[in-house]
Amino acid sequence: MNKILSIRPNLQISLLFAEIQDYQETANRNEIVNSALEKSIEQKVDWRVATKFKVDESSEEIKQPDFMQIRVDENKYNLVVNEIKQAFDLKRVTAPYLIRLILVNYLLFLKNNGNKEVISTVEKIVDFGIDCLVFKNEYDRSEYAKKELLLVLSRKILELNSDLNIKIRSQMNERIRKYSDYFNIEKYYPRPRSDFGTCNIVFVSKVLAGLFLLISEVEEINPNKIVETLQETVNS
C-alpha cells in the first residue's frame, strides 16, 4: 500500500536529491526515496552518523521547491519510522526528518559502495568475452569531456590489475589470430611485460575506458562518478 508524503523541503533535502541524481540521472524523487527506504531496511544503519552528515550548501545552485509530494511504500516507511524512533527514543518522527536521514544513508552508500561495483562489473563482462574493437571505438568516438583522464585512470587500473590486463589482451590476440594470418602478433601486440609495452597498454586502456563509458550509459551512471571511483581506487 502506498502513502503520500507532503513536505516542505529544506535546502539540505533538495541538495541531497541533487547529489543522488548525479549517480542516478533518470531517477525521480519517488524512485529515489523508495530505493533509500529499501536500503535503510537492508542495512543496519547507524542513524546517529546520518544526523551528522551535511551537504555543502555552497557546492551547487539548485532550484528550491516550496512543496514536495512523494509516494512511498507505507509498510517500508513505517518500518524505518520505528527504527528511527528506537534509535533516538522519539515518540514521533516527522516526514522531512525521515526523508533527510534516509537520503543521507542512501547517498553515503552510493558514494562508498555503489560505483565501486562498476569495476567488478567490468571484470565479469571481460570474463564473459568481449569484442575489444567495439569498446575501443566507444572510447575513440566518445565526446565525454574527461575522456583523457578516464584513459589515464584506466591504464592505472590495468597496472594494478594484471589479470584484467592479460584477459583483454588475450581476447584481442585471439581475434587477430582468428581473422588474419598476416598480423605479426609479437610485433603489434607483444607479450605482457612488467612495463606492459607502450603499444599494448594504450590500446588495452582504451578498451577498458570504453567499457566504463558504455556501462555509464547503460546503467545511467554519471561518468564523473565513475572517474571519482577510479581515482579513489588508484590512490588507495
Alpha carbon distance 15, 8 (integer Å): 14
DSSP-H helix ranges across the chain: 11-23, 29-42, 47-52, 74-88, 95-112, 117-128, 132-141, 147-160, 162-179, 185-188, 198-218, 223-235
Q: What is the mean pLDDT of residues 104-130?
A: 83
**Whose CA is closest to 174, among 192, 159, 189?**
189
Euclidean distance between CA atoms 14 and 133, whole angstroms: 42
**CA distances from residue 190 to 76, 149, 163, 199 in whole angstroms, order as listed:** 56, 25, 16, 8
5 DSSP 8-state letter:
E
Is it the case that residue 10 has pLDDT exceeding 90?
Answer: no
pLDDT tens per residue, range 185-203: 555 555 554 443 334 788 9
User: In this structure, what C-alpha cell is assigned to residue 43?
Assistant: 542495512
Tell me, rounded to whole angstroms, the distance of Cα 205 from its chain centroid: 19
Give the C-alpha separation, 90 to 88, whole Å.
Answer: 5
Q: What is the mean pLDDT of the chain?
A: 84
Residue-level pLDDT at 60 = 59
- Please enumerate in sequence order all residues whose Cβ is within 8 A of that of 128, keeping only pairs 6 or more positions apart, or say none: none
Please state whether the predicted TM-score (pTM) of the whole model is above 0.75.
no
139 has pLDDT over 90: yes
Instruction: Give residue for cell 512511498.
Output: 72
- Give 140-178 pLDDT, tens digit per residue: 999 999 999 999 999 999 999 999 998 998 888 777 766
SS3 at position 72? strand
Pairwise CA distance, residues 150 & 229, whole Å: 11
